[in-house]
């Protein structure tokens, strides 16, 4: 196929096993880990975990990616669509609360086919960097129950510097609006687990509290009905050590400043503990 699935618009040739686009993904799913995952938001992980499929290759490839081994180095194993459907079933049989697809966009056609073969009775979560195209997301209307988009940057300068994506904000804003259109406001089950809705995540970067505050302001203005998940788990991984401002964890003071703004805006959602900033929370890429 010639691929223009995400805002990179590579127009790149992709075959089943290989791709020449920025994500380097082929069309068959390449996965780094499939397992119950306990470290998502409480309404996603619950007590039995989120049945997570970590796909290899990413359309954004941030220099500080917390999953750098799989996003930039494309570690993983190629499986067939039928095997992916079998994995959805296996995860569901383990009793997880949902099927959580992490960075699935390059494989969206394979994912949709797998969901046709086996549609789980638990919610399907689409977990993304937020760097998406509305027309691609429309393919998921009715297939995804929950969206977990990141909203990383408020400025094209930063998105270009750290993700080589000057068009991040202009892409992510309409993309998240489309996610909200599809899911509506959050719906919870009697067990407190999220059944439907959009939760916007923001990872606070060191030395960039201004960016975080601007991001929260955009969320407040543009994304009515979404919940926010503020994350303080940043650890300098990937190529972060090459960037002076990114080469440390965030401080308590920085996190407090962003948290206070979140509380002032009275946004609904979650705030992660700063103690989550530890490399031990990076999953084992052991598929
Ligand atoms: S999905 Fe991959 S190949 Fe397709 S446009 Fe995006 S980065 Fe390029």
pLDDT tens digit sequence for 148-188 = 999 999 999 999 999 999 999 999 999 999 999 999 999 99
57 lines ligand 1 (CB under 6 A): no
Helix (H, G, I), strand (E, B) or coil at 90: helix
Query: What is the atom index within ligand 1 of the atom nearest the CA of 21?
Result: 3
4 lines ligand 1 (CB under 6 A): yes
pLDDT at 283 over 80: no
pTM over cut 0.85: yes
pLDDT at 88 over 80: yes
3 lines ligand 1 (CB under 6 A): yes
Q: Supply the pLDDT for residue 282.
A: 62
What's the 158 CA to ligand 1 centre distance in angstroms? 21
- Domain containing residue 233: 24-281
Q: List pLDDT tens digits, range 244-271.
A: 999 999 999 999 999 999 999 999 999 9
E strands in the chain:
2-3, 12-13, 30-37, 50-55, 77-78, 99-102, 124-128, 146-149, 187-188, 194-203, 227-231, 269-271
Pocket test for ligand 1, best of 1, 2, 8 (most atoms within 8 A of CB): 8
12 lines ligand 1 (CB under 6 A): yes
Query: What is the atom index within ligand 1 of the atom nearest the CA of 59?
Result: 7
Give the C-alpha separation, 170 to 264, whole Å.
26
Task: Name which of 57, 24, 59 is nearest 164 in CA terms.
Answer: 59
What's the 103 CA to ligand 1 centre distance in angstroms? 12
Asked if residue 15 is part of any domain, the answer here is no
For 39, 145, 191, 235, 275, the CA distances from 280, given in Å and listed in that order, are 11, 30, 29, 10, 11
259 lines ligand 1 (CB under 6 A): no
Asked if residue 14 is part of any domain, the answer here is no
E strands in 132-193:
146-149, 187-188
DSSP string for 214-225? HHHHHHHHH-TT
Instruction: Give the residue-averaged pLDDT of 273-279.
Output: 69
Q: Supply the pLDDT for residue 280.
A: 62
Instruction: Give the residue-averaged pLDDT of 122-137.
Output: 98
Please give the backbone phi and psi of residue 279, each rounded to the nearest 5 degrees, phi first: -60, -20
Asked if residue 51 is part of any domain, the answer here is yes
What's the 6 CA to ligand 1 centre distance in angstroms? 5
Asked if residue 272 is part of any domain, the answer here is yes
pLDDT at 45 over 70: yes
Asked if residue 286 is part of any domain, the answer here is no
When divided into structural domains, the chain yields a total of 1
Q: Supply the pLDDT for residue 129.
A: 97
pLDDT at 277 over 80: no
| Burial class for 128, CB neighbours closer than 10 Å (0-12, 13-18, 19+) | buried
Asked if residue 52 is part of any domain, the answer here is yes
Query: What is the atom index within ligand 1 of the atom nearest the CA of 22?
Result: 7
Task: Say if CB 279 and CB 235 are below 8 A apart.
Answer: yes
pLDDT at 285 over 60: no
CATH number at residue 29: 3.20.20.70
23 lines ligand 1 (CB under 6 A): yes
Confidence tier at 10 by pLDDT (50, 70, 90): very high
Asked if residue 232 is part of any domain, the answer here is yes
| Contacts of residue 96, Cβ cutoff 8 Å, sequence gap at least 6 | 36, 48, 49, 50, 51, 122
Give the C-alpha separation, 281 to 260, whole Å.
25
Average pLDDT score over the chain: 94
Task: Name which of 7, 59, 41 is nearest 172 in CA terms.
Answer: 7
Q: Supply the pLDDT for residue 68.
A: 81
Q: List pLDDT tens digits, range 142-155.
A: 999 999 999 999 99
| Burial class for 10, CB neighbours closer than 10 Å (0-12, 13-18, 19+) | middle
Percent of the chain with pLDDT over 90: 88
| Residue nearest atom 3 of ligand 1, based on CA coordinates | 21
Q: In the structure encoding, which two tokens stand for residue 35, read together? A: 């397992």
pLDDT at 287 over 90: no
Asked if residue 134 is part of any domain, the answer here is yes
Q: In the structure encoding, which two tokens stand for residue 2, read together? A: 């010639």
pLDDT at 19 over 90: yes
Of the CA atoms within 13 Å of residue 176, those in its CB half-sphere come to 32
Q: In the structure encoding, which two tokens stand for residue 118, read together? A: 């086996």
């Amino acid at each position: 196929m010639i691929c223009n699935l995400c805002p990179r618009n590579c127009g790149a040739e992709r075959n089943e096993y290989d791709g020449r686009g920025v994500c380097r993904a082929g069309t068959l799913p390449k996965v780094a880990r499939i397992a119950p995952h306990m470290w998502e938001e409480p309404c996603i992980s619950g007590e039995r975990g989120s049945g997570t499929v970590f796909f290899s290759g990413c359309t954004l490839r941030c220099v500080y990616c917390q999953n750098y081994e799989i996003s930039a180095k494309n570690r993983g194993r190629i499986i067939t669509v039928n095997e992916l459907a079998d994995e959805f079933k296996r995860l569901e049989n383990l009793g997880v609360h949902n099927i959580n697809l992490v960075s699935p966009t390059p494989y969206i056609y394979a994912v949709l086919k797998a969901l046709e073969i086996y549609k789980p009775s638990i919610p399907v979560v689409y977990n993304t960097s937020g760097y998406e195209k509305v027309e691609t997301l429309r393919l998921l209307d009715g297939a995804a129950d929950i969206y977990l988009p990141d909203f990383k940057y408020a400025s094209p300068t930063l998105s270009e510097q750290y993700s080589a994506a000057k068009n991040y904000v202009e892409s992510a804003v309409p993309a998240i609006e489309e996610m909200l259109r599809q899911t509506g406001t959050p719906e919870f089950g009697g067990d407190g687990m999220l059944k439907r809705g959009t939760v916007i995540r923001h990872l606070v970067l060191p030395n960039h509290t201004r960016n975080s505050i601007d991001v929260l302001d955009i969320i407040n203005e543009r994304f009515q009905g979404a919940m926010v998940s503020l994350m303080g788990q940043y650890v300098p991984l990937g190529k972060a050590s090459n960037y002076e401002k990114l080469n440390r964890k965030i401080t308590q003071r920085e996190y407090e400043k962003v948290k206070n703004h979140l509380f002032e805006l009275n946004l609904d959602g979650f705030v992660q503990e700063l103690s989550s900033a530890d490399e031990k929370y990076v999953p084992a890429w052991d598929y």
